[in-house]
């Protein structure tokens, strides 16, 4: 893997192709990309497993989708600023191609009865998926009495005082700092 060394121009091509592959085969949420990144860390000397663990922790807590964050982080470690940009572009390219093709199909078959039947089965299952994902986040976030009370207060505020989620998120950062959860 001489070509994939830092400083070589070929590294950008390889980064793009490798992350294109990740984007194509990682089906589902952002953390699904993790095993692929693990393989990359073994195949190339771009980043260590320890660095990968840091990447996950930081990608989870910083703004932006986890999968995109991890691609930028890994690309940056492999080849600096442009490495981060190119790895991220590689990751999203398959999505753009597949979804554009699918959007055309869906527009055409949206009113098809079979498609409607299938979707009516999927919708309640996706509600369950979202609940499950919410509970996973809750397991990390709701850890003591203080956080339980905060959750209850947020729920009431969100329900009765309908403001934009961005407003609550900014307020939540301040509340976190003040009450030191």
Partner 1 sequence: MSDISNELPITTGCLMRQLWRLYKLFFKIGLFTFGGGYAMLPLLQDELVRKRKWLSEEELLDLYSIGQCTPGIISINVATFVGYQQAGIRGAVFTTMGMITPSILIITLIAAVLYKYMYNRYVTYAFDGIRVCVVALILDILYGLWKKNVTDKKAAVIFAGALGLLAVFNLSAVILVILAGAVGWFWHGKVQQ
**Stretches 1-9, 10-18, 38-46, 101-109: which one binds partner 1 (CB under 8 A)?**
101-109
- Burial class of residue 142 in the structure, from the number of CB atoms within 10 Å of its CB (0-12 exposed, 13-18 middle, 19+ buried): middle
Kindly state whether residue 31 participates in binding partner 1, applying the rule CB under 8 A.
yes
Provide the greatest CA pair distance for the chain.
Answer: 60
Of the candidates 5, 13, 56, 175, which one interacts with partner 1 according to CB under 8 A? Answer: 175
Kindly state whether residue 176 participates in binding partner 1, applying the rule CB under 8 A.
yes
Q: How far apart are the first and last CA of the chain?
A: 46
Tell which positions 9-28 bind partner 1, by CB under 8 A.
23-28
Least spacing, CB of residue 171 vs partner 1, in Å: 8
Judge whether 37 and 22 are in contact, CB under 8 Å.
yes
Least spacing, CB of residue 62 vs partner 1, in Å: 6
């Amino acid at each position: 893997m001489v070509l994939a060394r830092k400083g070589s121009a070929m590294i950008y091509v390889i980064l793009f192709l490798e992350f294109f592959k990740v984007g194509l085969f990682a089906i589902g949420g952002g953390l699904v990309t993790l095993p692929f990144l693990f393989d990359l860390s073994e195949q190339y000397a771009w980043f260590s497993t320890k660095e990968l663990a840091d990447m996950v922790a930081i990608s989870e807590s910083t703004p932006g989708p986890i999968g995109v964050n991890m691609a930028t982080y890994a690309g940056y470690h492999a080849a600096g600023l442009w490495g981060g940009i190119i790895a991220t572009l590689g990751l999203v390219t398959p999505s753009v191609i597949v979804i554009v093709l699918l959007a055309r199909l869906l527009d055409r078959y949206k009113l098809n009865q079979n498609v409607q039947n299938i979707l009516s089965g999927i919708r309640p299952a996706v509600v369950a998926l979202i609940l499950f994902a919410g509970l996973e986040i809750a397991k990390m976030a709701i850890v003591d009495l203080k956080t339980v009370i905060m959750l209850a207060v947020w729920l009431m505020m969100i329900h009765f005082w309908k403001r934009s989620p961005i407003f609550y998120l900014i307020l939540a950062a301040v509340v976190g700092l003040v009450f030191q959860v």
